[in-house]
Structure 1
Amino acid sequence: MLRARRGRLGALFLQLAVAARTMAGAPTVSLPELRSLLASGQARLIDVRSREEVAAGTIPGALNIPVSELESALQMEPAAFQALYSAEKPKREDENLIFFCQVGKRGSQATQLARGLGYTGARNYAGAYREWLEKDG
């Protein structure tokens, strides 16, 4: 019995360690790079904060898809996505699909989720909305 428990705990610990490493390894974009991509129209920006947070302000041009909805949103048919979010659904091959949140954690989670679904150009704006406000707000 003890051995079985230890085995389950060991497996859980391993899963958590892998998840932590994966989150830490999320591809990121810096503020100067983000500004450049936005200025040239080469970035697709997705704010994964709640609708209430976004109502208080967001980065101009960002599409709001709360992180709790992201997995289902990225798996929708393009027409359903368009109807729900009033925007074109990102394509798996899109470069510079950039996620952000308030401080970086949900943006990192969103980036890993999107990459897991085949969105190879997904990256996290690690500075998040907090940095944007400090530098641009």
Structure 2
Amino acid sequence: MANPVTKEISYEDLKALLGKSQNLFLVDVRTKEEVDKGHIPGSIHIPVDTVETALAMNPEEFKAKYGVTKPVLDAPDVVFHCQMGRRGGVATNKALQLGYVNACNYSGGFKEWSEKGGN
């Protein structure tokens, strides 16, 4: 089976989702050291090398570990991001393979977010 095509969203799309979506599940897959220097408001930190394990957890375990409700497979707004796009793409592909049909990557990453003054 071919790898799914990674869906990507833009800075403008993410800003709009942050403003309107009550269901946005935004995952920062960078290292703890990177996240400590700044993050996109509302994002949940799940390092890229643990995304697959985290998304395979049962909902109770997920909530206990991350403090938020695990998204359902067909959740409308599941967005991954890293610093510049590559790790976010890796995480998005893992999510798609696990059945998160609407998973997408914010390819501009935290670098673009901070350059554009996102807050």
Tell me the TM-score normalised to structure 1 length.
0.80
Q: Distance in 2 between matches of 1:87 and 1:96?
A: 15
Which of 3, 15, 22 is 1:35 aligned to?
A: 15
Residue 85 of structure 1 pairs with residue 66 of structure 2: yes
1:12-31 equivalences under 5 Å are 22=3, 25-31=5-11
Q: Which has the higher contact order (CA 8 A, sep 6+)?
A: 2
Give the % identical residues: 42
Count of equivalent residues: 116
Q: Which runs of 5+ in 1 are unaligned?
A: 1-17
The Cα shift of 1:104 comes to 0.3
Matches within 5 A, 1:101-116: 101-116=82-97
Looking at structure 1, the residues matched to 47 and 80 of structure 2 have their Cα atoms a distance apart, in angstroms, of: 11
SS in 2 for 1:136: coil
Who is 1:14 aligned against? none
How far off is 1:130 after superposition? 0.4
- Over residues 83-135 of structure 1, what are the superposed CA-to-partner deviations in whole Å (9 max), with x where a residue is unaligned? 11111111101012000000100000000000000000100001110000100
The CA distance in 1 between the partners of 2:6 and 2:63, in whole Å, is 27
The aligned counterpart of 2:109 is 128
TM-score (normalised: structure 2): 0.92
Matched, 1:67 2:48: yes
Counterpart Cα distance in 1 of 2:106 and 2:9: 5
Aligned-partner Cα distance in 1 for 2:46–2:30: 7
